[in-house]
Chain A
Amino acid sequence: MAEKKWMPRWFYQLASPRWCYDITGKLLPLFAWTAVLLLLGGTAWALAFAPADYQQGNSFRIIYIHVPSAILAQSCYMLMAIAGAVGLIWKMKVADMVAKCCAPIGASIAVLALATGAIWGKPTWGAWWVWDARLTSMLILLFLYFGVMALNSAIENKTTAAQSTAVLSLVGLVNIPIIKYSVEWWNTLHQPATFTLTEKPAMPVEMWMPLLIMVLGFYCFFAVAMMLRLRNEIVSRERRSGWVRDMIQTQFR
């Protein structure tokens, strides 16, 4: 009896470290070039051609770094939690590795979002840092990344480390809606979300189009960073297996 396939074959093949290593090797140049093109094009459009804001002048242009990094920092946390849950439930090694690779990338992107926010805050609000709900919840996100990294490095057994971090990142997931809705729940200095899926952006097309390109570019960049880390992790964990030995022998003969 032909059972209905509810999951495409390539998806569960990703669970095999070897297959995952091969496919990321093929996808890597594709994503790298897309990221370079999108980021370069987006930056040029954003900095040189997009019109200046009627209130903030040219200082608003940092939005093209700030918003994508803020979005990405949160998405990265979600990916970490989801991958952790998948690892916890189906005991997939690759999911554990993905979750582990998320934390350092997410932490650095969160630092980028906070730093660009501070740089933007200085000319607009007159202060580098304000104890506003959106900013504070973003800072908590950074602390959560630090906690996850600390826990992961404190436990020596890889499986236990992955499971413990997965539980912690699932618990920390409560912070994501707080960040998302902080500007709506508390009336604070921070402006509301720039992009929503359901409504048309309030700014003109020439302003939000480069932002969209930058967001996509950031996601592609994330994919590249992720795959590089993942491949590194796969090779280091599978170093005793035959295929890694063969590969290294053929490459460095």
Chain B
Amino acid sequence: MSEGRAGEMFFWGVLKRDLLLSFRRKSDLVNPLIFFLMVASLFPLGVSPEPTFLAEVAPGVIWVAALLATLLSLDGLFRSDFEDGTLEQTLLSPQPLFLVVLAKVFAHWMMTGLALTLLSPLLAVMLFLPAEGMWGLMASLLLGTPTLSLIGAIGAALTVGLRKGGVLISLLVLPLYIPVLIFGTGAAQAAITGLPIAGFLALLGAILVLGLVLAPFAIAAALRISASS
């Protein structure tokens, strides 16, 4: 079997395992989504139920809610593997670590980012987002949420050895999320007002590519450091 083919099979194996694990623990899968819905529904209650106002803030609210929901799910990304010793075995195995990391992040994205993107039209309707903005919002979420998973995984890897990593992750990761948030909401806002959104999407795509190339190495290094202590 050629080297590349083996790596590919390895990638899909890890991905399948992670997806299977999270489907067995349904609460991990559903909790971020419920959280996403709840945060977004707090805004009409807390700020103003006025449709015109809500339509204006909808992209920002949905994006911030998606960001917080992703943060919530990050702590579990490597924790169970770390606790039952799987992580150490993975670190010792001859397989390239960045492949494992990439597969795990991809699985995490499918369970949070992708699910959030699919759920976002519901929230958009609840918040009176104009129909023209819907595609902009979904496209920006689709391109932006993988970056959130990638950057978040760095924070999760750095804090995996700590007992109370939860709050620390948000402190480490939120500043790095800000550019994604800015361009993501920018795309949705532009779509509402009928401006071209290709530029925003291109920037989100560029950030995603940069993250895909560099983040796995940072995550792998962070995992090695966390596991060695």
Residues on A close to B: CB < 8 A? 88, 136, 140, 143-144, 146-147, 150-151, 154-155, 157, 159-160, 163-164, 167-168, 170-172, 174-175, 178
Contact = CB atoms under 8 A, between A and B. Distances in A.
Contact of A172 (B162, B175, B222): B175
B168 A150 contact: yes
Interface residues of B, number: 23
A150 B172 contact: yes
Interface residues of chain A: helix, strand, loop or mixed (majority)? helix
B171 A160 contact: no
B222 A143 contact: no
Contacts of B210: 174
Contact of A160 (B151, B154, B179, B228): B228
Nearest to A141: B175
Given A160-B161, A160-B225, A151 B168 contact: yes
B171 A147 contact: yes
Given A160-B225, A160-B226, A160-B228, A171 B218 contact: yes
Contact of A147 (B161, B172, B222, B228): B172
A175 to B, nearest CB: 8
Interface of B: 151, 154, 158-159, 161-162, 164, 168, 171-172, 174-176, 178-179, 210, 218, 221-222, 225-226, 228-229
Contacts, number: 61
B176 A154 contact: no
B142 to A, nearest CB: 22
Contacts of A157: 229
A172 B158 CA distance: 14
A136 B159 contact: no
Contacts of A159: 229
12 contacts: A147-B171, A147-B172, A150-B172, A151-B159, A154-B162, A155-B162, A155-B229, A160-B228, A167-B154, A167-B158, A167-B222, A174-B176
A140 B172 contact: no
Nearest to A150: B171
A151 B157 CA distance: 12
